[in-house]
Structure 1
Amino acid sequence: MGKWKRDPKVPYPSVWREYQVKSKTSDEIYNFQIQDATIDILPDMIDHMLKYYWADEPVAECFDVINDAESKPYLEGFYSEIVNAKTPLVCFKIENDGSKQLVGCNMTLAMEPEDSYSDIPTSPLLKDYISVFLEADKKINEFEKFGVSVCLKAVGLAINRKYRGLGLATEILKARTEFCKALKIPLTTTQFTSGGSQAAARKAGFIFLEETKYADIHKVLPHLPLANIKHPVTQLWYKTIDLN
């Protein structure tokens, strides 16, 4: 993956955002904290992503990644690599006794123009999965369009189903702005693959840039199992960061 290094002057782990919201089913007030991921919670992050991203994300669901035993070691290795790069964000629910429950993950990573997802060691199934997004990404080169040398991208945003509908995805995306400001990253982009994530991007201040129909990708890559995908499009959204 990339050669980008986090500035050691920026405290790690840092808390980037705190969020309070009322439960949908009771008068309980939930307190959430969005911060840097750390290697000690990697096993919990892997379990979370398998349960809430790879089981639910529209493209992953088509590929049935969750049931591909060959892919899991590659996912574990990749997640370990980006957590060690100190770029992913996690959301904790803060309990009344001060303990923390992991309820959200955004697998963000800082990429430079020469970096590519195609360089990631992977299983045959994950290689096909990645090819969907490599095809979508051919439309726009964000580095050239925005004239930047580093961009914060993401390879998965997932919220515990129990806490969906409370705005956590939006808050995590907002936290990316604070992260980028501190780390001097001028741009963040993501291919958002579902209606829910696209709505969260809009609420978080991201701007729509480009849309790709999975049907068009299927025409180019007909061997991929995209015919029955639940959501018709992936959308590229961006947010520029004021570093002044």
Structure 2
Amino acid sequence: MAKEGWSRPASAPAKIYSRENGVVIRDVTPDLDDFVIQHMLENFARDSSPLAQSFKPAEDPDSIADFATIWKNILPQRVSLVALAEGTPCSNLEPVSVSNPPTIIGVSVLTLHCKGEKSTFSSQCNGAAIKKIFGLWNHLNSLVNIFERFNIDHYLDSVGFFAVPIMHEKGIFLMLMKARIDLCRYLKIPLTRTINTEINSQKVLAAKAGFEVLLDKHFEELKGPDGKMLFPEMAQHKSIQMLSARIR
């Protein structure tokens, strides 16, 4: 049973999950933490995703600081993934340093949620943009209880994803999602979930990565008791999906 304060078992050392199209996908180890956080700070909040376009966290210094704190607290769980260019530092699990930095082309920051464990993400936040993002997440969580739906006590969830745009042509998104399933299998985690606002990647997840759609909502459908849209900033985007993959 997963317990509060879960961390990766010592019996499951860091590993490489795939090598494909010049890309290596592997675990994020402690020597990579600062590089991963810096990569995410420089790219995640400034990308072209619907969330970044609508809530504009890149224009909110408090939200950027909040993301940095959350990622710093999450990475020690050792369930996050990094994509590197083949043949560059640490692509064979060798350690990196400031004088020998990695070439990061994609990151998937992941966290393990345990039943009965209260999320502290929202309470840690000061930024207006990140509060809106987690407000959206919390609302969706109120619509689908993963623990009850699948009768499980822990699952792997996403808390940030970014890949260098040119690498999308090589299918890096799909590679990282498949590696996530392999990671779950390796660590005996029964399920992984993701919330997605990208229409193209929604189709990829359902059709090619083994994810099933749990919830598909147009943003106009997400309304409060007063009948008004809860997230009017997202009005120009079509829908948001919650997807999951059972690990077998």
Fold similarity call, TM over 0.5 = yes
Equivalent residue letter for 1:70: D
Give the deviation of 1:84 after TM superposition.
1.1
1:85 is the counterpart of 2:87: no
Q: Are the equivalent residues in 1 in contact too, given 2:147–2:154 (CA < 8 A)? A: yes
Q: Secondary structure at the match of 1:164?
A: helix
1:218/1:227 contact within 8 Å kept? no
Pick the aligned partner of 1:49 from 40, 43, 63.
Answer: 40
Q: Work out whether 1:75 is the aligned partner of 2:76.
A: no
TM-aligned CA deviation for residue 212 of structure 1: 2.1
Q: Secondary structure at the match of 1:105?
A: strand
Q: TM-score, normalised by structure 2?
A: 0.83
The one-letter code matched in structure 2 to 1:17 is S
The 2-side partners of 1:204 and 1:89 are apart by: 16
Conservation of the 8 A alpha-carbon contact between 2:224 and 2:230: no
Q: Distance in 1 between matches of 2:105 and 2:64?
A: 21
Q: Which moved more, 1:195-204 or 1:173-182?
A: 195-204
Stretch moving more, 95-104 or 44-53: 95-104
Per the alignment, do residues 158 and 98 of structure 1 end up closer, same or farther by CA in structure 2, a change over 3 Å counting? closer
The one-character-per-residue Cα deviations of 1:65-87 (angstroms, maximum 9, x if unpaired) are 01111122221111111111111
- C-alpha displacement of 1:219: 4.6
Q: Hey, what's the Cα distance between the residues in 1 that align with 2:89 and 2:138?
A: 45
What SS is found at the alignment partner of 1:83? helix
- Change in CA separation of 1:228 and 1:85 when aligned onto 2, cut-off 3 Å: closer
Amino acid paired to 2:49:
E
One-letter amino acid of the counterpart of residue 244, structure 2? Y
Secondary structure at 2:162 match in 1: strand
Q: Give the aligned length.
A: 230
After superposing on structure 2, the runs of 4+ consecutive aligned residues of structure 1 that deviate more than 6 Å are: 96-99
**Residue 108 (structure 1) shift:** 1.0
RMSD after superposition: 2.4
Give the 3-state SS of the residue equivalent to 2:232 in structure 1. coil
DSSP-derived class of the 1:151 partner: strand
CA contact (8 A) 1:95 1:101 kept: no
Is 1:179 matched up with 2:183? yes
Per the alignment, residue 24 of structure 1 pairs with: none
Q: Does the 8 Å contact 2:66/2:125 carry over to 1?
A: yes
1:18 aligns with 2:19: yes
1:136 aligns with 2:144: no
- Could you tell me which residue of structure 1 aligns to residue 106 of structure 2? 104
Match among 223, 236, 243 for residue 242 of structure 2: 236
Counterparts of 2:6 and 2:49 in 1: how far apart (Å)? 28
Is 2:191–2:247's contact at 8 Å kept on the other side of the alignment?
Answer: yes
Query: What residue is the counterpart of 1:39 in the other structure?
Result: 30
Are the aligned partners of 2:60 and 2:127 in contact in 1 as well (CA < 8 Å)?
no
2:152 match: secondary structure:
coil
Paired residues of 1:94 and 1:101 also in contact (CA < 8 A): no
Unmatched 5+ stretches in structure 1: 21-30
Task: Provide the C-alpha distance between the structure 1 equivalents of 2:173 and 2:29, rounded to a whole number of angstroms.
Answer: 19
Q: Which moved more, 1:110-119 or 1:95-104?
A: 95-104
> Paired residue for 1:150?
154
SS of structure 1 residue aligned to 2:112: strand
Cα offset for 1:148? 0.7
Measure how far apart 1:119 and its partner are. Answer: 4.3
Report the Cα offset of residue 229 of structure 1. Answer: 4.4
Letter in 2 for 1:7: P
How far apart in 2 are the matches of 1:62 and 1:132?
A: 12
User: Which of 170, 173, 178 is the equivalent residue of 1:169?
Assistant: 173
